[in-house]
Amino acid sequence: MNRRALGIALLVGGVILLFFGFNESESFASEVSEVFTGSPTDRSIWMIVLGSVTAVAGLVMTVVPGSSR
């Protein structure tokens, strides 16, 4: 698998994780947690953080040219 294809796959996976993370942060359980703790659930936070990291890694792998051999 070449570098660009892997980068696109990571970018798409990261965007999907971000989508689910933001949906999870708006869920009823997350809203209740936010009332008592001041922050959303750990699950939604981890999805957003991992989605962001994965999307950025995929974007870098897609845009930045690899080493030429």
| Segment 45-63 mean pLDDT | 95
pLDDT digits (tens, 9 = 90+) for 12-41: 999 999 999 999 888 887 888 778 888 788
Nearest-angstrom CA–CA distance, 25 and 69: 45
Q: Which position has the higher pLDDT, 41 or 1?
A: 41
* pLDDT score at 1: 62
CA distances from 63 to 23, 54, 59 (A): 28, 14, 6
